[in-house]
Amino acid sequence: MDTPEQPQIYLITPPTITLSSFPNQLARVLDGAEIACIRLALAGNDEDAIARAADACREVAHARDVALVISNHVLLAQKLGLDGVHLDDGARSVRAARKELGADAIVGSFCGVSNHDGMSAGEAGVDYVAFGPVGASSLGDGTLAEMDLFQWWSEVIEVPVVAEGGLTADLIRDLSPRTDFFGIGDEIWSSEDPLGTLKTLLSALP
């Protein structure tokens, strides 16, 4: 993912999705907002269920030229024709994932609040690093990624950075000069109107 001028939206799916309705919801969001990439972030290890969800989401995403990556399942990413993988363990799996998926795949890494892990992941060849949560969220261990971390990263490191977890309009306004992507998921899927909620959040962008 290239570093954008203004932060772009990295859409994160809910941990469980209903195949009869979620692809239509996803399509509506993609048709109504500019989305850079989607992360399939499903709970559990039921490969059949994950594969069915991935197939449905891939169809919607690729029809709109939006990349789809999957959380942690490196081999499934390859098997299901997805665009890459998002790793939850900092820098530990980056080299193995890159070797498995090749140079063209998207490999990203969640590094919590650790700029050390972020730098290690960058050295290992990630396309982006995600820090968070930035607000009230069950992401990671709940320790907040402070504004200073994003400020330092944006000034010193060239690897694109994602801010995610507990985003609000105020946080989006404050973080927009300091991040390349906003990882948005629970913030919109828990509402009756995900696209409307997303647009309300994005109205905070300068």
User: pLDDT per residue over 178-196, tens digit each?
Assistant: 999 999 999 999 999 999 9
Token output for 135 = 């607000």
The ranges assigned to domains in the chain are: 8-201
Token output for 112 = 């919590």
pTM for the predicted model, two decimal places:
0.95
Token output for 32 = 């109504």
pLDDT at 3 over 60: no
Phi, psi angle pair for 117, to nearest 5°: -60, -40
- How far apart are the C-alpha atoms of 121 and 95, rounded to whole Å? 9
Q: Which helix (H) or strand (E) holds 109?
A: strand 106-110
Q: Is the peptide bond before 133 cis (omega within 30 degrees of 0)?
A: yes
CB 144, CB 113: distance < 8 Å: yes
pLDDT at 1 over 90: no
Which amino acid belongs to residue 44? G
Task: Collect all residues with Cβ–Cβ distance below 8 Å to 18 and sequence separation of at least 6.
Answer: none
Place of tokens 């197939």: 55
- How far apart are the C-alpha atoms of 158 and 108, rounded to whole Å? 14
Residue 4 binned pLDDT confidence (cut-offs 50, 70, 90): low
Which amino acid belongs to residue 150? F
Token output for 144 = 């907040």
8-201 to CATH, choices 3.20.20.70, 3.50.50.60, 3.30.930.10, 3.60.20.10? 3.20.20.70
